[in-house]
Chains A and B, each alone.
Chain A
Amino acid sequence: KAGVTQTPRYLIKTRGQQVTLSCSPISGHRSVSWYQQTPGQGLQFLFEYFSETQRNKGNFPGRFSGRQFSNSRSEMNVSTLELGDSALYLCASSLVPGQMNTGELFFGEGSRLTVL
């Protein structure tokens, strides 16, 4: 069974640009969540999607958005990039959404974004 696939793995952008990251969950998994990982802030929750609906959202500005498609694939978008958005963005999938999930999350390898 293929794991969680994130693309692109690495990208470099400049301030003010926007970026779209993609995540394909494990086959059969319908919940996708996104996290931002930085050395200073650790792992911070961005949002969770289930059945194309955003179920939970972390404390990030509106520049951060996401969506989920009918095949459970998810994208996140960051507009008007700032230097502080440089981070590893991790996607995780699970069979069911957080409220019913007592099990583990399955993470992708991440997309490393560098903003210059």
Chain B
Amino acid sequence: AQSVAQPEDQVNVAEGNPLTVKCTYSVSGNPYLFWYVQYPNRGLQFLLKYITGDNLVKGSYGFEAEFNKSQTSFHLKKPSALVSDSALYFCAVRDRASGGSYIPTFGRGTSLIVHP
């Protein structure tokens, strides 16, 4: 079975400050990991993914995420937050193991609010 947890329903940060949105996962094999962003009344947009290789993954809009296998985490980060980053962020995981689910499992989402 595969699962993903986003422990914070909401993250508040001041504009210009660094932001972190947390994600931990559980899979039986090795994971594919994804971050998506959803703006109000819109669908989800892909931000970045970890497949293999470098543990630090860079994505769209200045976001990056760090894969930590020992901590089973894939936290989303940005060095300097913008008000326009305010949105709902989803972490997703897919198990690479044969027999595992080929459908990604999504976290419940974290609402990021960036204050001017």
Interface residues of A (CB under 8 A from B): 4, 6, 33, 35, 42-43, 45, 48, 55-56, 58, 90, 92, 97-99, 101-110, 112
Asked if residues A90 and B90 are in contact (CB atoms below 8 Å), the reply is no
A-B contact pairs, 28 of them (CB 8 A): A4-B43, A6-B43, A35-B106, A42-B106, A42-B109, A43-B108, A55-B102, A58-B103, A90-B43, A90-B44, A92-B44, A97-B102, A98-B94, A98-B102, A98-B104, A99-B102, A101-B102, A104-B34, A104-B49, A105-B104, A106-B46, A107-B36, A107-B43, A107-B45, A108-B43, A109-B41, A109-B43, A110-B42
Determine the residue in chain B with the shortest Cβ distance to A6: B43
Determine the residue in chain A with the shortest Cβ distance to B98: A99
The answer for the CA separation of A91 and B88 in the assembled complex, in Å, is 18
Asked if residues B44 and A107 are in contact (CB atoms below 8 Å), the reply is yes
The answer for the CA separation of A102 and B42 in the assembled complex, in Å, is 24
* B51 CB–A CB distance under 8 Å: yes
Asked if residues A56 and B102 are in contact (CB atoms below 8 Å), the reply is yes
Asked if residues B43 and A43 are in contact (CB atoms below 8 Å), the reply is no
Q: How many of chain B's residues touch chain A, expressed as a range? A: 20 to 34
The answer for the CA separation of A54 and B3 in the assembled complex, in Å, is 23
Determine the residue in chain B with the shortest Cβ distance to A98: B102
Q: What are the residues of chain B within 8 A of A4 when measuring CB–CB?
A: 43
The answer for the CA separation of A56 and B104 in the assembled complex, in Å, is 11
Q: What are the residues of chain A within 8 A of B101 when measuring CB–CB?
A: 56, 98
Q: What are the residues of chain B within 8 A of A42 when measuring CB–CB?
A: 106-109
Contact of B42 among A48, A103, A109 (CB under 8 A): A109
The answer for the CA separation of A107 and B104 in the assembled complex, in Å, is 14
Determine the residue in chain B with the shortest Cβ distance to A40: B108
4 tightest A-B CB contacts, nearest first: A98-B102, A107-B43, A104-B46, A42-B108
Known: A4-B43, A97-B102, A102-B32. 19 other contacts (CB 8 A): A35-B106, A42-B108, A42-B109, A45-B103, A56-B101, A56-B102, A90-B43, A92-B43, A99-B102, A101-B102, A102-B49, A102-B51, A104-B36, A104-B49, A106-B46, A107-B36, A107-B43, A108-B43, A109-B43
